[in-house]
Amino acid sequence: MAQSNKPPSRWNDERVERIMGTLLQSGVIISAVVVLAGGILYLLRYARLPLHYENFVAERESLRGLAGLGNSALHGDGRAIVEVGLLLLIATPVARVLFSIIAFALEKDRLYVVLTLIVFVILIYSLFGGAT
């Protein structure tokens, strides 16, 4: 039997699955911690204020864009921090797909790179440019 002189690939299926599992777990835990911290800050600041349900107040403009959201979160706004945590939760599966593209490319599996790129484009389109 002829032995292959090729060194074993560092990117086998088991390693990729472990890294993906860690990525997903970390993303969910980090986003949960951020949401919890934002919720605590929000409650500390606004828990004792009376609620006025008779008047509808639209969301502040600073929470509608990423730049304003980031600025508000950095200044300790609890609602903005909760929104950042939710965005991190949404970004977790997107990061998984992006990692899959890289892993398939390192494994030189062109078919799965193309298929995963299509999934990634659909994800990004649905997040940022989807039907309004």
Q: Supply the pLDDT for residue 9.
A: 60
**CA-CA distance, 65 to 77, in Å (whole number)?**
15
Question: What is the structure's pLDDT at 132?
Answer: 54
> How many angstroms separate the CA atoms of 117 and 93, rounded?
14
Residue pair 89/127 in contact (Cβ under 8 Å)? The answer is no
What are the per-10-residue average pLDDT scores of the chain (132 residues)? 57 82 94 96 86 72 77 88 93 92 89 95 85 54
Block residue for tokens 């349900």: 53
If phi > 0 it is left, if psi is from -120 to 50 it is alpha, else beta; for residue 76 that is left
Please, are residues 87 and 63 in contact by the beta-carbon 8 Å criterion? no
Residue 101: closest CA among 124, 118, 126: 118
The pLDDT assigned to 91 comes to: 92
pLDDT at 131: 55
User: What is the pTM assigned to this prediction?
Assistant: 0.77
Q: How far apart are CA 60 and CA 79, in angstroms?
A: 10
- Dmax (CA) for the chain in angstroms is 82
Instruction: State residue 130's pLDDT score.
Output: 63
- Domain edges within the chain: 14-47+62-129
pLDDT for 33 equals: 97
**pLDDT for the residue numbered 6:** 56
